[in-house]
Amino acid sequence: MASDSKEVEVEMAPHFRLYKDGTVYRQDTHSRLPPSPEPGADGVASKDITVDADRGLWARIFLPSSSSSSHLAHKKPPLVLYFHGGGFVFGNPAWSNFHIFCVDMAKRSQSIVVSASYRLAPEHRLPAAFEDGFSALKWLHSQSIYQSESNHELMDPWLISADFRRCFIAGESAGGTLAYHVARMAFNMPYSVASWAPMCMEGLILIHPGFMRDTRTQEELDCHQDGLMNWNMADACIKLVLPPGCSIDNPYFNPLPIVSSPDCPFTLPKSLVLLADNDALHFYVLQCVEALKDARCQVDVVMEHGVGHVFFIAQPDSAQAQHMMQSVDNFISKDHKVL
């Protein structure tokens, strides 16, 4: 354990401590899984690749076995760019729960999943994570260009067979917030759909996104709280993540002001928002969904009942988790009209 002689500003024992002098103590005891270059019993192989060495960014690619793809109408597997959760403070693609989730998603939807890392707060406060997520998207775009030009020697070999016309951006919890911002940046000024040719982003998948505002309603305060989502932990993460002096009503966490502004044209790819009714965050996310619909964005919502925030981490075999994953599979497998 780190020395207690210095004054502590934020304590998240036993894993994290921020001292008032700005130094950070971390003890990452979370279980990790190594990549599996050969498919295991689940039929999915995985490997780690470098995205940006200067910033220490990397990704874990999950490649499903083609032997189980006969049910698909499409010959090439779609791509999913995925961002893990952890409050922008914890986590990486090697954490066992994120690895297992991506294996399941790759297997069910027969998609190539690229689980991208990003820099964490408070060492790197927002918008660093958004910039890193956007860099991962641009890296995938470069791969699509190489593929279209038949420059396969410049590509990662696991992406040569990918269908870059069917790309999805996804994330859970803080990763859902990150996925939203990456899609927002990709589809709005100064970028547009045409900016990403030959890659097409068909959809956005937000799993329990961490949208929040400064004030909280009584129903939010009274809602179920646990070790994966409680307001004390959320407030601690917010303090670590936002730039000094920045309010939670900043668009980093609160998309409503920008989405609702009549002076700011706004669009997103067709979106799937997955929620849980025992997650205190879902009340405000639903308000944001209505604002997105008012802005003429296409958004589908699937609500799981009797479960809380990112429940599928602890209950991957529950009926609700199976239904949620089937919803993700259906969304990826269907054809979408690209905006």
Is the pTM of the predicted complex or chain greater than 0.75? Answer: yes
- Over the stretch 12-45, which tens digit does the pLDDT of each residue have? 877 888 998 989 999 888 899 999 999 989 999 9
Look at strands 167-172 and 79-83 and give their pairing. Answer: parallel
State percent of the chain over pLDDT 70. 95
Task: pLDDT band for 11, please (50, 70, 90 cuts).
Answer: confident
Secondary structure of residue 33 in the 3-state scheme: coil
Please give the domain boundaries of the chain with CATH numbers for all domains: 1-30 (no CATH), 31-333 (3.40.50.1820)
pLDDT, tens digit, 9 for 90 and up, residues 50-82: 999 999 999 999 999 873 444 444 579 999 999
Distance between CA 44 and CA 30 in Å, rounded? 23
| 8 Å CB contact between 176 and 84 | no
Q: Provide the pLDDT for residue 336.
A: 52
Tens digit of each residue's pLDDT (9 = 90 or more) over 133-181: 999 999 999 999 999 999 999 999 999 999 999 999 999 999 999 999 9
DSSP 124-143: S-TTHHHHHHHHHHHHHHHH
Q: What is the mean pLDDT of residues 271-292?
A: 97
